[in-house]
């Protein structure tokens, strides 16, 4: 018998500063989804938050890339367990009606940053009771929020760099006080980051007060909460984690950025950045970062996939956790899939495995009872 193909809804784009990164990741994933196993239902989200779909995945992606959303049909996803699927808005006389485009077996979110990686989309998918790739509401929200993530790491005895949280309202009403708070943290350099964003969007390395002022103002463009972190002269190391309740860690890789740090430009625009896989670490240090990566994954109740980023102090050798990315960059040249490829799991097989993990987690969720006191 031929196995029935799964209907896989791939969601990409999004109302985030990482919109373009999402499109790059989606293009790579769509290219390896085996048509003998999967029927792909493309779901694009524009920069303004409109849900759209096209005649096929390639057309939908191309229209979003070219900002020609008028070529696409309005779409909707209902948080209704009885009508889980993608709907297309179609004209019907003088009115418009929602017509089911396809029911969904599993959703593959490829949305980096806010409104995709922060638990908001995951909450919608939970309401619809559909299987989906990646972390749930809790793991996504904690992993996305840098200050909260650091608090959870400290509670679990996992070392992170010293930091302080400053609110946009503080920066606007009392800039001198915000500067004093940041400078009391540590000597320069300091790093300023939006609390909830990835791909180094809005991140500034501050070598002095003028940089700090500029960095604080820039970060407030992207978030109402701003994290200031002590700078560390460090090796930048990343480890990919895969699994649900029995996660496994890949070999570690080292980032050698073209910029002073792994900025947005160094990640996606400047071709001078290099990935060294496996990272040139001792056997002991390799096992340490792999062990800590799994501990981080479990501490935030992650699922499916995550990339854990580390800073290793060049002088002391101390390992600090920088962050966890629950929907890491997923192009063929991104660190997450490249680390698994170096660990023996090729890109197409990795995508298949993530879908399997999503279905496994959904089956486990289905065992949970949501009614009490009802006769069995």
277-310 pLDDT, tens digit each = 999 999 999 999 999 999 999 999 999 999 999 9
| 349 and 278, same domain (yes or no) | yes
Range of the domain at 172: 163-230
Positive or negative: CA dihedral 138, 40, 85, 372: negative
| 239 and 218, same domain (yes or no) | no
**Spatial distance between the Cα atoms of 299 and 324, rounded to a whole number of angstroms:** 11
Domain end call among 182, 209, 230: 230
Q: What is the pLDDT of residues 210-249, one digit of tens each?
A: 999 999 999 999 899 999 999 999 999 999 999 999 999 9
Q: Are strands 73-77 and 85-92 parallel, antiparallel or unpaired?
A: antiparallel
* Model pTM score: 0.90
Counting residues of the chain whose pLDDT is more than 70, the rounded percentage is 93
| 210 and 309, same domain (yes or no) | no
Q: What is the pLDDT of residues 178-214, one digit of tens each?
A: 999 999 999 999 999 998 876 567 889 999 999 999 9
| 54 and 93, same domain (yes or no) | yes
| 101 and 195, same domain (yes or no) | no
| 307 and 294, same domain (yes or no) | yes
Q: CATH number, domain at 191?
A: 3.30.1490.20
* Domain-embedded: residue 174: yes
| 55 and 34, same domain (yes or no) | yes
* Domain-embedded: residue 370: no
Q: CA angle at residue 284 from 281 to 290, to 5 degrees?
A: 80
Q: How many domains does the chain have?
A: 3
pLDDT class for 114, splitting at 50, 70, 90?
Answer: confident
* Domain-embedded: residue 83: yes
* Domain-embedded: residue 137: no
* Domain-embedded: residue 298: yes
* Domain-embedded: residue 368: no
Q: CATH number, domain at 272?
A: 3.30.470.20
* Domain-embedded: residue 375: no
Domain end call among 212, 230, 248: 230
* Domain-embedded: residue 20: yes
| 291 and 345, same domain (yes or no) | yes
Token pair of 212 as six digits: 């700090």
Q: CATH number, domain at 88?
A: 3.40.50.20
Average pLDDT along the chain: 92
**Spatial distance between the Cα atoms of 102 and 203, rounded to a whole number of angstroms:** 40
| 335 and 270, same domain (yes or no) | yes
| 356 and 251, same domain (yes or no) | yes
What is the per-residue pLDDT for 271? 63
Give the number of other CB atoms < 10 A from CB of residue 171.
21
**Bridge partners (DSSP) listed for residue 256:** 274
| 113 and 169, same domain (yes or no) | no
Q: Tell me the C-alpha to C-alpha distance, in Å, between residue 35 and each of 4, 30, 148, 178, 337.
A: 11, 10, 40, 54, 21
Domain end call among 204, 230, 256: 230
What is the per-residue pLDDT for 260? 63
| 151 and 202, same domain (yes or no) | no
Is the predicted pLDDT of residue 2 greater than 50, yes or no? no
Q: What is the pLDDT of residues 47-61, one digit of tens each?
A: 999 999 998 899 999
- HEC assignment per residue over the chain: CCCCCEEEEEEEECCCCCHHHHHHHHHHHHHHCCCCCEEEEEEEECCCCCEEECCCHHHHHHHHHCCCHHHCEEEEECCCHHHCEEEEEEEECCEEEEEEEEECCEEEEECCCCCCCCCHHHHHHHHHCCEECCCCHHHHHHHHCHHHHHHHHHHCCCCCCCEEEEEHHHHHHCHHHHHHHHHCCCCCCEEEEECCCCCCCCCEEECCHHHHHHHHHHHCCCCCEEEEEECCCEEEEEEEEEECCCCEECCCEEEECCCCCCCHHHHHCCCCCEEECCCCCCHHHHHHHHHHHHHHHHHCCCCEEEEEEEEEECCCCCEEEEEEECCCCCCCCCHHHHHHHHCCCCHHHHHHHHHHHHHHHHHHHCCCCCCCCCCC
Phi and psi, residue 237, nearest 5°: -120, 140
């Amino acid at each position: 018998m031929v196995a029935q193909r799964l209907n896989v809804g791939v969601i990409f784009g999004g109302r985030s500063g990482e919109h373009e990164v999402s499109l790059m990741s989606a293009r790579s994933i769509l290219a390896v989804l085996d048509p003998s196993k999967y029927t792909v239902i493309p779901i694009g989200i524009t920069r303004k938050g409109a849900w759209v779909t096209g005649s096929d995945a390639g057309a939908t992606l191309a229209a979003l890339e070219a900002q020609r959303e008028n070529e696409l049909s309005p779409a909707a996803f209902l948080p209704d367990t009885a009508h889980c699927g993608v709907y297309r808005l179609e004209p019907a006389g003088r009115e418009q009606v929602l017509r089911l485009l396809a029911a969904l077996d599993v959703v593959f979110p490829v949305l980096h940053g806010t409104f995709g990686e922060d638990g908001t989309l995951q909450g919608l998918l939970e309401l619809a009771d559909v299987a989906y790739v990646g972390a749930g509401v809790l793991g996504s929200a904690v992993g996305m929020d840098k200050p909260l993530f650091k608090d959870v790491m400290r509670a679990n005895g996992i070392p992170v760099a010293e930091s302080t949280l400053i609110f946009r309202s503080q920066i606007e009403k009392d800039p001198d006080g915000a500067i004093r708070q940041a400078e009391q943290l540590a000597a320069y350099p300091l790093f300023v980051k939006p609390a909830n964003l990835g791909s180094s969007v809005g991140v500034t390395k501050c070598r002095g007060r003028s940089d700090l002022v500029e960095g604080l103002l820039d970060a407030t463009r992207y978030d109402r909460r701003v994290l200031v972190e002590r700078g560390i002269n460090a090796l930048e190391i990343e480890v990919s984690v895969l699994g649900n309740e029995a996660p496994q860690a890949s070999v570690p890789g080292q980032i050698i950025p073209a910029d002073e740090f792994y900025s947005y430009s160094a990640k996606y625009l400047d071709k001078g950045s290099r990935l060294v896989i496996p990272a040139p670490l001792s056997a002991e240090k390799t096992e340490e970062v792999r062990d800590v990566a799994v501990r981080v994954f479990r501490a935030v109740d992650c699922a499916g996939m995550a990339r854990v980023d580390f800073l290793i102090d060049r002088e002391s050798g101390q390992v600090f956790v920088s962050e966890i990315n629950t929907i890491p960059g997923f192009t063929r040249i991104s660190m997450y899939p490249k680390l698994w490829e170096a660990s023996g799991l090729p890109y197409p097989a990795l995508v298949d495995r993530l879908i399997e993990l999503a279905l496994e987690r959904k089956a486990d969720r289905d065992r949970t009872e949501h009614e009490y006191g009802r006769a069995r």
